[in-house]
Chains A and B, each alone.
Chain A
């Protein structure tokens, strides 16, 4: 079955810097890759997603890139703000298989 690995587990950046979180997946048949943001005690919130027929997608300060050959995808957040602080999860598949999460801390 699908397996998703996510790195790093924690990431601390200064406000205004960029943050990059990387994930690899094992099942070459996977064709959908969402990213979720989860604040403490809250529900996972879908922030961006990409399908396997697209290499890159951008939404304001957030972008996702996908390399199907290498089976990895990344989340890029530019101009980070303190409110970006949360745990970010990547996932793959239809029944989503999640990575272990990255705790992002943006220091003002």
Chain B
């Protein structure tokens, strides 16, 4: 079946611009996670949804970062007033939820802030 998809795959933004990154999870998956991966590093947790509820946003680096999942399916990560340090790959993962912990990742969005 279809895996997790993300769009756009690449985004170049000028410093100060706002960006929106989209994640389409595997159909029926309850849990959705966002991670940030800097070059040469492991993914770092940003935020977690269970259905439409954002249960953990402890990893969001500043109040410029905002995520939503209004209907419990597609999620959007928004970054306002982008800074150069925001340049990274943003990964989305979904999980069936309940007793299942496995997370399946999307291909990521590579954000470059110039």
Contact = CB atoms under 8 A, between A and B. Distances in A.
Contact of B45 (A6, A45, A49, A96): A96
B105 A89 contact: no
A12 B33 CA distance: 32
Contacts of A95: 33, 45, 48, 56, 59
Contacts of A42: 107
Interface residues of B, number: 21
Contacts of A34: 101-103
5 contacts: A43-B4, A44-B91, A44-B105, A95-B33, A96-B103
A94 interface: yes
A89 B41 CA distance: 10
Interface in A41-97: 42-46, 49, 51, 89, 91, 94-97
A50 to B, nearest CB: 10
Contacts of A101: 40-42
A94 B103 CA distance: 9
A89 B102 contact: no
B106 interface: yes
Given A34-B103, A44-B105, A96-B35, 11 more contacts: A34-B102, A43-B91, A43-B108, A44-B91, A46-B103, A89-B43, A94-B101, A95-B56, A96-B103, A100-B41, A101-B42
B44 interface: yes
A98 interface: yes
